[in-house]
Amino acid sequence: MAIHPPKQMIWWHEPVERSELVWIAVAFLWGLVMFGTMVAWHFVGKQNLSNEAYRITPDVFQARTEAAAEKYKVREEGNTGIPVVRPPPGGDAYMLARLWEWWPILELEKGQSYRLHISSLDWQHGFSLQPTNVNLQIHPGYEMVLTVTPDAAGQFTVVCNEFCGIGHHTMIGRIYVVDKK
């Protein structure tokens, strides 16, 4: 029993106030509009990045990334010892995040499509591809998979934009896009 019980105990049988019904209808319709916009934006919103995410363990992701790096390595970056990996056009490209690097360096061909897999081996990192508007949260335990078709040649920088500790500001990666034509 409430401290101040309502006079009319069967209040749930009272008719709903007209203005309340109107608000419920408005809110419901607006919810439908927003839902529809969300779906439509997937197709027409150029700034939206539609990616897939799958569960994966850090161990498995690391093994796949290292296997791909070994198979498709074309050179090392300067004297850093970091492999530059050129995956086959139409194939899978792997990049992992860990404290505090993006590994390896990828080299893609302009106009070719790739399945780009990204995951973290430890904390949460942020994949920001500069100077483009590509921005992803990278979590351990999940791999983000994007179908990418680079449309400009050049050197792109991956910046970690999720604070991940003392070395966060040094967590810089690289993607090269070469024009073969």
Say how far apart CA 84 and CA 93 lie, in whole Å. Answer: 12
CA 156, 158, 159, 165 dihedral sign is negative
- Binder to ligand CUA among 84, 85, 171, 175 (CB under 6 A)? 171
Report if residue 160 touches ligand CUA, rule: CB under 6 A.
Answer: yes
Nearer to ligand CUA, 72 or 100 (CB): 100
How many residues of this chain bind ligand CUA (CB under 6 A)? 8
- Binder to ligand CUA among 163, 172, 178, 179 (CB under 6 A)? 163
Report if residue 162 touches ligand CUA, rule: CB under 6 A.
Answer: yes
Q: Which residue has the tokens 């893609």?
A: 108
* Burial of residue 33, with CB atoms counted within 10 A of its CB: 0-12 exposed, 13-18 middle, 19 or more buried: exposed
Tell me how far the alpha carbon of residue 52 is from its chain's centroid: 8
* Span of 23-31, 67-75, 77-85, 156-164 interacting with ligand CUA by CB under 6 A: 156-164
Say how far apart CA 127 and CA 175 lie, in whole Å. Answer: 12
Say how far apart CA 148 and CA 32 lie, in whole Å. Answer: 31
Site string for ligand CUA, 64-103 (x = CB under 6 A): ------------------------------------x---
Contacting positions for ligand CUA (CB under 6 A): 100, 125, 160, 162-164, 168, 171
